[in-house]
Amino acid sequence: MRLTPSQIEAIRQAAGEAFGATVGVWLFGSRTDDNARGGDLDLYIETEGLPADTLRKELQFYAALQRRLGEQRIDIVVHRQGTPMRPIDTVARQSGVRL
């Protein structure tokens, strides 16, 4: 996994602040491959809540990450618990690394 311990902690803290203590966070995509180079930061979030609240929380999370990690490309996939899994949700859970 190509994240430093401080980056992992920043992601966890920002997710907890935005979505609450029960949020699940996974890193997936190219950053999980130690032999790859570059790539954006792909994050998968599992949370509870209403759709309108989820969007607000996602934007809060994104802004906090940009402040803490510096400007970079970040893709966030949010799955609300209790809703059907989409193909991207399944791939992120199966191939991702829980932070």
Measured at the alpha carbon of residue 46, what is the angle toward residues 28 and 23, in degrees to the nearest 5?
A: 105
Question: How remote is the C-alpha of 95 from its chain's centroid?
Answer: 13
Measured at the alpha carbon of residue 11, what is the angle toward residues 38 and 8, in degrees to the nearest 5?
A: 65
Neighbours of 19 (CB within 10 A): 23
**Helix H or strand E encompassing 51:** helix 51-69
> Could you give the CA distance from residue 65 to residue 16 in angstroms, rounded to a whole number?
12
pLDDT tens by residue, the chain, 99 residues: 789 999 999 999 999 999 999 999 999 998 888 777 777 899 999 999 888 899 999 999 999 999 999 989 999 999 999 999 999 999 999 999 999
Distances (CA, A) of 61 to 24, 65, 88, 94: 13, 6, 19, 23
Q: Which domains does the chain have, with CATH numbers?
A: 5-98 (3.30.460.10)
**What pLDDT sits at residue 33?**
80
